[in-house]
Amino acid sequence: MNRRAEFSESTKAALAKRAGYRCAFPGCRAITIGPSAESPEQSASSGMACHIYAASDGPSARRRNPNLTVDKLRSIENGIWMCYSHGKLIDTDESTFPPEALQHWRKLAEAKARIRQAFGADLSMQDSGDLDIKLPSIKVEMSPADNISKLIQEIFFNSCINEVWGDDLAYSIRELTIELARNAFLHGHATTFEVDIDACKVTLSDNGKAFSFSELLSHTQRRGGAAAAKQVSESFLNKLIYSYIQTEHGNKLILARIRASKEISAITPCNITIDFESHKLKYDDVVSFCECHTECGTVYIVPKYGISHSDIAIIAEKMKSILHTGQTIVLVCEGVSSGLEEYITKIAPNMKLMRVTR
């Protein structure tokens, strides 16, 4: 006899309320409740409580998990709120809509509902400052025989990175990921390429030959991977940091969204903090750091406190040789005037400025 674990009415109501009566399907902003024409006191629902793991373990059930008890299957932790259209859709394709993705979507839907309640508007996680939500990472590993574009499109969709980072940035990174995967298999002779996405970073790994992300950025012919890398680097300098590392297993590239300069050290070892008023760390130490870490394609210089024009002049003079080696130097600042930014561009055109909010 097949089990059947239906949600209680109270569980259905709780799922709807926690989602703010919005469909949890990525990109769908359907409101699933409204007035009913039957009476002045009634409401009409166009939403449904869907099971993440199937309510039945029959042969036609999708996303089955025979290890879960009936109580677990009908618990609120196994539910997600959807509009009718998307509720029916997720039940038709287990491979496209796996349980891990649905669990991820539900947490994100509840986070968005919390933001709407707090701010009275639909805001991105970045705009609301709510980037501390703990979302599970979504990972996929592919081989040269796989449909690379299809798999990458699916993981980016399932991760809901658009909802957190915005469409333009998410699409640009997805396009770069496709190019890097193709390059890894075609030119690097890799046998595996892995994409790992969480709320704050995208990690791309392969077991192919070493390559330089900085060299890719410096290619004069902007096509394929070089064009995609330039697009991300030039358009989103103030939003992303890059960490390219050659490991014993191959290559790892991390693209991370940060809010504060102190977060950089957790993403990449290719950073150095300098206190311009202190003799404990001199300008020569920054030059020495760059020379001793040639494996770092990009080095982030993080001022401990505020900086001004004389600091920039000394950095530019001390780092003339470094700025022509192909190593990218990024000065991370928590607030600078437009005048100082123009001054940097004038006397240190090869140095990039990254602005962070705090």
Please report the DSSP string for 9-48 in residue order: HHHHHHHHHHTTTB--STT---B-EEE-SS-TT-EEE-EE
pLDDT digits (tens, 9 = 90+) for 89-103: 988 777 678 888 899
Is the model's pLDDT at 1 over the cut of 50?
no
Q: Which residue has the tokens 């640009």?
A: 172
pLDDT digits (tens, 9 = 90+) for 178-190: 999 999 999 999 9
- 36-45, 117-126, 282-291, 342-351: which range is least confident on average? 117-126
First to last CA, the chain: 60
For residue 135, what pLDDT is reported?
A: 60
pLDDT-derived band at 8, boundaries 50, 70, 90: very high
Q: In whole angstroms, what is the distance from residue 115 CA to residue 93 CA?
A: 30
**Residue 194 class from Cβ within 10 Å (0-12 exposed, 13-18 middle, 19+ buried)?**
middle
For residue 258, what pLDDT is reported?
A: 79
Percent of the chain scoring above 70 in pLDDT: 87
Q: Residues of 249-261 as b/e, b for ≥16 C-beta within 10 angstroms?
A: ebbbbbbbbbeeb
Phi, psi of 72 (to 5 degrees): -70, -40
Q: Is 332 helix (H, G, I), strand (E, B) or coil?
A: strand
Determine contact, residues 89/57, Cβ cutoff 8 Å. no
Determine the average pLDDT of the residues in 271-298: 76
Determine contact, residues 237/267, Cβ cutoff 8 Å. no
**Residue 3 class from Cβ within 10 Å (0-12 exposed, 13-18 middle, 19+ buried)?**
middle
Task: Please give the angle made by the CA atoms of 257, 237 and 330, to the nearest 5 degrees.
Answer: 100
When mean pLDDT is compared over 153-167, 170-184, 326-340, the highest value belongs to 170-184
Q: Which residue has the tokens 């970073």?
A: 201
For residue 327, what pLDDT is reported?
A: 74
Average pLDDT, rounded, for the chain:
84
Positive or negative, the CA dihedral 108, 242, 221, 225 is: negative
Determine contact, residues 66/202, Cβ cutoff 8 Å. no
User: Which carries the bigger pLDDT value, residue 55 or residue 137?
Assistant: 55
Amino acid at 39: S
**Residue 221 class from Cβ within 10 Å (0-12 exposed, 13-18 middle, 19+ buried)?**
exposed
Q: Is 29 helix (H, G, I), strand (E, B) or coil?
A: coil
Amino acid at 164: V
For residue 116, what pLDDT is reported?
A: 82
In sequence order, which residues have a C-beta less than 8 Å from that of residue 269 and are 6 or more positions away? 243, 293, 296
Q: 217: part of which helix (H) or strand (E)?
A: helix 213-218
Percent of the chain scoring above 90 in pLDDT: 30
Determine the average pLDDT of the residues in 321-332: 74
Q: In whole angstroms, what is the distance from residue 303 CA to residue 307 CA?
A: 7
Is the model's pLDDT at 278 over the cut of 60?
yes
- 111-120, 201-210, 216-225: which range is least confident on average? 216-225
Is the model's pLDDT at 134 over the cut of 60?
no
Determine the average pLDDT of the residues in 33-62: 83
For residue 124, what pLDDT is reported?
A: 61
Amino acid at 352: K
103 closest CA partner among 33, 171, 50:
50
Name the DSSP class of 62.
Answer: S
Q: In whole angstroms, what is the distance from residue 358 CA to residue 341 CA?
A: 17
Which two three-digit tokens encode residue 204?
């791309």
When mean pLDDT is compared over 61-65, 186-190, 300-304, the highest value belongs to 186-190
Amino acid at 325: T
Is the model's pLDDT at 287 over the cut of 70?
yes
Which two three-digit tokens encode residue 267?
């993403």
Is the model's pLDDT at 131 over the cut of 60?
no
